[in-house]
Every structure is written in structure tokens, then in C-alpha cells.
Structure 1
Amino acid sequence: MSVTPPLPHVTRPVAAPAWWQVSGPGLVALIGLFMLTVIYRFDGMSAIQLDLGLSGQSMLMIGLVAYLVAAALAVPAGLLLGARFPTAVAVAAGCFLLLGVALAAFANAGGLLMVGRVLSGLGTGAAAGATVALIMKLRGRRGLVAGVTGGLAVLALVLAPVIGQLISEAVGFRVIQLVAIPFVLIALVVNGVIGIVGLTSAKRQAPPAPYPPTGFTGDPWRSGGAS
């Protein structure tokens, strides 16, 4: 009497991300980095500091330190979950950034501004961690994507104070915060589209599950392989 052995458990390998998937969380991270330095200026006190009556030390703590600490706390979450759930992480990060920018736009005191900066920092850190996680999982064009992403990040940090100063002097610091909102919304839409395309592509590339042998019922004593 022969017994048909049970089918081995088949584990489908996790597909490596495509280079274009980096643009989802990467776009959120770039907006967040832009908002990190946009409230500063190179030649004196910023408009937000003057309007809210903040001292130099308070501006440093609220505008920079709170943002960076929140970002540093969120980066590990982005690194751990970004490669596996890039769209979910990027959308959540975008929502944090959106809420933080809105609070900063309507802040009338340092406390509300700090809450907005912390929320923006959390979103920026999570998106940056997810971006790095995706880049590390790439099988091709990793160096090119990393170089372009890093260059854009530096450019956003450097240009933000200049753009922020021009807009703030013309129409006030709140406008530069409000202008960021449509860009964050666009980033959320982009991440949604990338998530749908990535899910569709993964379903098309997934190998079919193996079929059991003819006559195999799951019970070796009753299957066609038993005698």
C-alpha cells in the first residue's frame, strides 16, 4: 500500500519594489523637508518669529528641535514598515504632515505652532524612513534613485528659506503654510494611484498555486494514490 505524501507548503517570494514606487513616500518626504526650513531666513528674524513674538531660543526649540525630534522618532517606523506597506505609511505620513501644516498656518501662539511642527515632523520622518526602506530593497537603479532622491532633499532644504522669505514678505508667513496644503493633497493622490498600480501589478505577477495530484483528496487513505 502506497501513501501519497501531503503537498509541501509553498511560500511565494515577496517581489522587490519598482523604482517608481519610491516617488510615493519620497514626494511626502520632500514636502516635509521643505517645510522644515521654510520658516527661516538667512539674513535675520523670520516673519513667523516676528508675528508670534518668539525669542530666538523659542524659535529654535519650536521651529527646529521639535520638528527634528518628532522626525527622528518616526523614522524607525518608516524603516520597519515602509518596504512592506509603502502606500499605507506614505498616506499616514501625508495626513500627519497635512494636519501639521494646517495648524502652523493658523497658529496664533507658540504652543499651537509647536503642535503643528511636531505633527509635520512625524509625517516627514515616517515618509523619509519609508523612502530609504524602498531604496534599500531595489534590485536595480538603486544608486541612481538614491542619488536623485538625496539631491532633491538637499535642494528642498536649501531653497525653502529663500522661497519662504519671498512669499512671507509679500503676503505673510501663513500663506506659505497654506500653499503647501495642495501639494500634500497631490502627494496623497499620487500615493493612492501608486498603491493601486502596485497591487494590480503584484496580482498579475503572482505565480499560480500548485494543484494537488489527480485523485488527491487531502486524506492519504482515500486518495487515488492509496492502494
Structure 2
Amino acid sequence: MYVPTPTERDPHPQAGQPWWLIIGPGFAALIGLFLLTVVYRFDGLSALQVELHMSSQALLLSGLVAYLVAAAIAFPAGLLLGARFPTSLTVAGLGLMLLGVLAVAFVPNSALLVVGRVLTGLGAGAAIGVTAALIRRLPTGRGLAAGVTGGLGVLAMVIAPFLGSLLSDALSFRLVYVVAALFVFAALVVTGVIGIVALTKKETRHTRRYEQG
């Protein structure tokens, strides 16, 4: 009796994750990096700092340090589990980011700012970790994907203070975070759709293997 080899059962037994799985967490990671530096401006005090009556030290601790610490805590989880559960972790991270961004958008005083920044940092750290995990699992083009993602991340951090200043000066710093919430929601939708497509393709492959086996 002829017994098919493992290669014949699965034409791509060593294939890594498809590149398009990076779109959702990558989008979320870019939003997170943008939000990291948007609290600052290069030509003076930010509108957030003025409206909430914060000193430069308080803004540093609540706006930057709290964000970075939270992101550093969540990053390992995204890196270790992101390749296995990219959609679940990214959706959870985006949910935290959405809560955090809305909290900052409607924060009444500086005491509660740190809560919003911690939530946003946790979500951003998880998304960055998932993105890194998926890039590591790419069958080809890992260097290119890492370079493009890293370049866009740096660009997001650099332009965030400028865009944030323009919107804040024209209207209010709160509008910056309302707009950011819309982008986070869009990333949630994109991630959900991609996750459904990936699950459908996975079930189709399993069905074909069962029928052929």
C-alpha cells in the first residue's frame, strides 16, 4: 500500500506565517508609537501640559515614563505568544489602547492622566511584541519587513509632536486623542477582518488534509 510522505500531505510543511498577518498588529504598533511622543512639542509647552497645569517633571513621569514602563511590561507577552495568537493579543491590546486614549481625551485632571497613559502603553507594548513575533516567523523578507516597520515607527514618533501641536493649537489637545481613538477603532476592524480570513484559511487547509488523509 502506498503511504504518502509528509511533504505530500502538506505541500508547505515549513511555511511560516503569511506576511499579511502583520498588517493589523503593525498598524496598532504605529499608532502606539505615535501616541508615545504626541504629548510633547518641540517649541514650548504642550497644550495638554498647559490645560492640566502640569510641570515638566510631572508630564515626564505621567506622560512618558508611565507609558514606557507599561509598554515594557506588555511587550514580552506579545513577543512570546504573538506568533500563536496574533489576532487575540492584538485585539486585546487595541482594546486597552482604546480605553487609554479615550481616558486621556476626557481626563479631568493630571492625576488621572497616568491611568490613560498606562492603559495605552500596555496595548502598544503588546502590539509591538506581536509585530516583532510575526516578523520573526516570516519565511522570507524578514529584514525588509523589519526595516520598513522600524522606519515607519521612527517616522510616527518624529511627526507626532508636530501634528499634535497643530491640532491642539487649532482646537484642543483632546481632539488629538479623539482622532487617535478613531484610528485605534479602525485598527480593531482591520485586525478582526484579517483574523477571520486567517481562521477561514486555516480551517480550509485542515478540511483538505482530512479529505486527503
How many residue pairs were aligned? 201
Partner amino acid for 2:63? Answer: G
CA contact (8 A) 1:28 1:127 kept: yes
Taking the aligned partners of 2:210 and 2:15, their CA distance within structure 1 comes to 16
Q: Quick one: structure 1 residues 172 and 80, their matched pair in 2 at CA, closer, same or farther if it must change by over 3 Å?
A: same
- Give the alignment's TM-score, normalised by structure 1: 0.85
What is the aligned-residue RMSD (CA, Å)? 1.7
SS at structure 1 position matched to 2:209: coil
Q: CA deviation at 1:81?
A: 1.2
CA contact (8 A) 1:97 1:120 kept: yes
The answer for unaligned runs of 5 or more in structure 2 is 1-9
Partner amino acid for 2:203? Answer: K
User: Which residue matches 1:205?
Assistant: 205
Taking the aligned partners of 1:202 and 1:210, their CA distance within structure 2 comes to 14
Sequence identity, in percent?
Answer: 58
User: Which residue matches 1:138?
Assistant: 138
Q: Quick one: structure 1 residues 210 and 167, their matched pair in 2 at CA, closer, same or farther if it must change by over 3 Å?
A: closer
- Give the alignment's TM-score, normalised by structure 2: 0.90
Taking the aligned partners of 2:20 and 2:122, their CA distance within structure 1 comes to 24
Deviates most, 97-106 or 16-25: 16-25
Q: CA deviation at 1:16?
A: 1.7
CA contact (8 A) 1:39 1:48 kept: yes
Q: CA deviation at 1:187?
A: 0.3
> Within the alignment, does 1:30 sit opposite 2:30 as a pair?
yes
User: Which residue matches 1:104?
Assistant: 104
1:10-49 aligned at under 5 Å gives the runs: 16-49=16-49
User: Which residue matches 1:173?
Assistant: 173
**Structure ranking higher in helix proportion:** 2
CA contact (8 A) 1:15 1:202 kept: no
Which of 1 and 2 has greater Rg? Answer: 1
Taking the aligned partners of 1:210 and 1:52, their CA distance within structure 2 comes to 64
Which portions of structure 1, spanning 4 or more consecutive aligned residues, are displaced by more than 4 angstroms? 12-15, 209-212
CA contact (8 A) 1:72 1:125 kept: yes
1:149-164 aligned at under 5 Å gives the runs: 149-164=149-164
The answer for unaligned runs of 5 or more in structure 1 is 1-11, 213-227
Taking the aligned partners of 1:208 and 1:165, their CA distance within structure 2 comes to 55
